[in-house]
Chains A and B, each alone.
Chain A
């Protein structure tokens, strides 16, 4: 089987040995109503309401949606529009915690007897993919056809981030419990846990824990970016190609992030919805790089403060990994369900953009053999037919082309703009 292209990155996984600490409950949380790919929720609370931990505070009837729960107990201070890091504007509920962290009566372990009840329970848990993209997990777990393989994404190929790694080391039983739960209710016979070879301790721990169970295998993958991209991972674990326009389920595969699987397990055991998450704090001006569990809605500034980051000197703040994460422009941005890292840098400079020299490095870097340089030229002349022929829609914005370009061209960005030119069917 042909090896897919990619780039070799410096790992910077210095937090891999950092035991996860809990960030104290902040004095104010702002919980956005849109933390998933799809539709935003409508707030279910109003100013002055008292809310408890795990209480549902936002929901909607839209198909692509996930309810939102309060991460603290306290009083609702405001329900206003905020701007998210990605630029979207949505409603957000600001809550002043009372410090009691009283758990809501709504939090009860779900009663599940069928696949339908399981999918419904996963939706109620507020779980979205914890790897970053925020795809609603219950939709993923409700495929049309039969599934024969559950692929668990534990590649964690982005530099710096070790939150999935810590999940595996600190609570491997929850990971395996989550996998078994999904396999049971969706009648999936096999599961493959894909882990990059730069996490040997996690590989040996999970191999040991799944040793007697032949339905779950741990697959060691080379540490090469973008190993954890969904289609790349399916290719490298199950050996299948998800074709243009297909979903993984069309190839009888479902991919779940390893922390998402653990979260499903926690919810099934306790009924506590997704109200906090593990994330990595790192970067060249972070004095105390660490892994933290943070309540959803906590401002980034509190996370940086805990990690002793000198925000005065900061030039670049990234939510997520350096390859696919988002630049933040506001320290009061809330931590959302998909934030697996907060990275702060003093040393940062935008590359100078010069002419394309046709070196072909972008083509050699693209996991799907696309031709970013040709797509850029086609985009510049607004040639929709050429863009279609070049299959720009297959671009997953992994960023390998931009990373590799010696002329500093923003190829991945151009691909996204080019995709928008193509009319949707």
Chain B
């Protein structure tokens, strides 16, 4: 007879695993990956491949050096690499992209104990570090389908957040300059809705985030739709501000998080010297997440407040 397994109840588990969650998020980003290939060409796909591969390698090597069990199988490194790539301009040199991945995987994630232990979103910090280190490369935006205009030469332009000249249709379909994954709102919305339908993410955060940005721009008299569709707002709201590890766990916390992100994004865009504020807003809100969590603890059903001891 086989040895019987004795374990505490429950003896069954649903089939959702960390790996499957990561796979779902990766799948939800495929429309954006395809869109980036169509808009920015082969180099976009190569940049994505470089980021994913270097993220996997950095994670594997760090785990080996730290003598910890291997975790690349959970696919979180793949997701981090993919998300970071989608936050980069197509013209960024590969080695610089790899530095971003190093920052994200090794410094932000592994040095804090690996998946689940990091306090800030790795891809966001990777992007911010690249932004501050290689500012000109990180703010050089290729014109969509540049090869059509001038052979192999990459033609660049300013982000539509600065020029404010793109049409809504171009913004919606991604026919503007910008990071790989942020230009095509349509592809991002398909992925975001997929994640909400599969109950991987809660709609509270993206709705609160985008809603707050919309409301504040309305009050300020800006072009609301233009502000929503341009820059990294949709990518950030659906895919970065919904990261489990670095955002609050309860619906109330997610609401506060989303509103906070929206306010900071608006303030940076409106008054800051950077054209884009989505990454900074998410990072700042990541930092206050433990406090939000503390103030938005659930109220257990049937709980009685403990009488104060005299």
Interface positions of A (Cβ within 8 A of B): 4, 7, 9, 159, 231, 235, 241-246, 311-318, 322-329, 348, 350-351, 354-361, 363, 367-371, 373-374, 388, 390-391, 394, 397, 399, 402-408, 410, 412-413, 416
Contacts and interface: CB of A to CB of B under 8 A. Distances in A.
Interface string B1-31: 1111111111111101110110000000000
A225 B250 CA distance: 22
B151 interface: no
B6 to A, nearest CB: 4
Interface string B235-265: 0000000001100011000000000000000
7 contacts: A241-B301, A323-B11, A348-B11, A404-B14, A406-B17, A408-B17, A412-B10
A223 B153 CA distance: 63
Contacts of A410: 8
A250 to B, nearest CB: 11
Contacts of B10: 322-324, 399, 402-403, 412
Contacts of B303: 243-244, 391, 394
Interface of B: 1-14, 16-18, 20-21, 71, 74, 113-117, 244-245, 249-250, 297-304, 306
B301 A354 contact: no
B45 to A, nearest CB: 28
Contact of B302 (A242, A351, A360): A242
B94 to A, nearest CB: 30
B5 A360 contact: no
A4 B300 CA distance: 11
Contacts of A367: 301
Contact of A357 (B18, B113, B304, B306): B18
Contacts of B297: 371, 374, 390
A193 to B, nearest CB: 23
Question: Which of A7, A235, A351, A361 lies at the interface centre, i.e. has the most chain B CB atoms within 10 A of its CB?
Answer: A361
Please list the 6 inter-chain residue pairs (A to B) with the smallest Cβ-Cβ separation, ordered nearest first: A399-B10, A355-B116, A360-B249, A327-B6, A391-B300, A369-B298
Nearest to A348: B5
Contacts of A348: 5, 11
Nearest to A85: B6
Nearest to B294: A374
A327 B250 contact: no
A357 B84 CA distance: 19
Contacts, number: 146
A296 to B, nearest CB: 22
A357 B75 CA distance: 13
B1 A314 contact: yes
Nearest to B11: A322
Contacts of A322: 9-12
Contacts of B71: 354
Contact of B249 (A4, A318, A363): A363
A390 B115 CA distance: 25
Contact of B304 (A244, A355, A408): A244
B266 to A, nearest CB: 27
Contact of A397 (B6, B9, B74, B306): B9
Contact of A394 (B4, B14, B300): B300
A243 B302 contact: yes
Contact of A328 (B4, B8, B21): B4
Given A327-B7, A363-B250, A371-B297, A7 B14 contact: yes
Contacts of B3: 315
A329 B298 CA distance: 38
A323 B12 contact: yes
B249 A327 contact: no
Nearest to A231: B302
A360 B13 contact: no
Contacts of A312: 1-2
B13 A402 contact: yes
Contacts of B300: 368-370, 390-391, 394
A315 B1 CA distance: 9
Contacts of B11: 316, 318, 322-323, 325, 327, 348
Contacts of B16: 361, 404, 406
B9 A356 contact: no
The residue among B71, B115, B117, B297 with the most chain A CB atoms within 10 A of its own CB is: B297
A252 to B, nearest CB: 16
Contacts of A402: 10, 13
A328 to B, nearest CB: 7
Q: Which of B10, B13, B20, B245 has the most CB of A within 10 A?
A: B10
Nearest to B301: A368
Given A324-B9, A350-B7, A363-B250, 11 more contacts: A316-B5, A327-B5, A327-B8, A348-B5, A354-B74, A360-B250, A369-B301, A370-B298, A390-B300, A405-B13, A412-B10
A153 to B, nearest CB: 18
A245 B299 CA distance: 16
B4 A360 contact: no
Contacts of A358: 116, 244-245, 249
Contact of A350 (B5, B9, B113, B245): B5
A360 B16 CA distance: 13
A241 B113 CA distance: 41
Q: Kindly name the residue among B3, B4, B115 whose own CB sees the greatest number of chain A CB atoms within 10 A.
A: B4
B250 A326 contact: no
A403 B12 contact: yes
Contact of B244 (A359, A397, A399): A359
B9 A325 contact: yes
A339 to B, nearest CB: 14
Nearest to A4: B301
Contacts of B298: 363, 369-371
A308 to B, nearest CB: 16
Contacts of B17: 351, 406-408
B21 A359 contact: yes
Nearest to B3: A315
Contacts of B1: 311-312, 314
Q: Which of B20, B114, B303 has the most CB of A within 10 A?
A: B303
Given A312-B1, A315-B2, A360-B250, A244 B302 contact: yes
Nearest to A323: B10
A391 B20 CA distance: 31
A399 B5 CA distance: 18
B2 A357 contact: no
B12 A9 contact: yes
Contact of B4 (A246, A315, A397): A315
